Amino acid sequence: MDSPSYLQQTRDEILNRCSGLSPELAQFRPEPNSWSVLEIIEDLAVVECASWIGIKRTLNQPEAEPTVLAETATKQAILESNVPNPTNKITAPAQTMPTGRFGLWPAALAAFQKASANVLEAASSNNPFLHRHVMPRPVIGLLTLAQWLFFAAAHAASHTIQIEQVLCK
């Protein structure tokens, strides 16, 4: 599946699962160390906002050298097999950890909607330079911007499963 379609699909799934959610249910934690839907959505909003800013900034930089692009050649397979799987838990970087930065529900959902719309617009641009520029990603390393967009969709897909698990408890 291409990144724009995958991004649209995961965005729609999240919005469908979260529409009409009460503030109480959005803040519910099924276990003390798990995230609530509110915290999951905050993480998604922060990551997608940072992705969009990084993509815009990176597109204004020179294209990556062929040797640097070669480093990203195997990353797509790694993303496809590891990121959308919520059992592959990775501790979020400190800057994306939920802190309540968007306030109460549904403000975090509105922030996610705005950030994901920007990322979706970048993915839908069919800009060939998305394959010629690279940006570092914590844990994974250098990714092309096209791979970053796939990561954003896979990250959302993983959190969609996590949201389902929270809401079913």
Tokens of 122: 């970048």
CA-closest candidate to residue 159, choices 98, 110, 117: 98
CA-closest candidate to residue 61, choices 151, 148, 154, 145: 145
Distances (CA, A) of 57 to 49, 145, 153: 12, 11, 20
Burial 31-60 (b: 16+ CB within 10 A, else e): eeeebbbbbbbbbbbbbbbbbbeebeebbe
Is the CATH number 1.20.1300.10 carried by domain 3-167? no
Task: Name the DSSP letter for residue 65.
Answer: P
Kindly report, residue by residue over 52-92, the tens digit of the pLDDT. 999 999 999 999 999 999 999 998 888 888 776 656 666 77
The DSSP result for 100-156, as a single string, is: -TT-STTHHHHHHHHHHHHHHHHHHT--GGGGT-EEEETTTEEEEHHHHHHHHHHHH
Output the pTM of the full model. Answer: 0.89
pLDDT of residue 144: 94
pLDDT of residue 113: 95
Task: Name the DSSP letter for residue 67.
Answer: H
pLDDT of residue 14: 96
Give the CA-trace dihedral at 94, 96, 97, 99, to 10 degrees: 110
pLDDT of residue 3: 81
Q: What angle (nearest 5°) sits at the alpha carbon of residue 130, between those of residues 153 and 142? A: 75
Mark the ranges of the chain whose per-residue pLDDT is less than 70: 1, 84-90
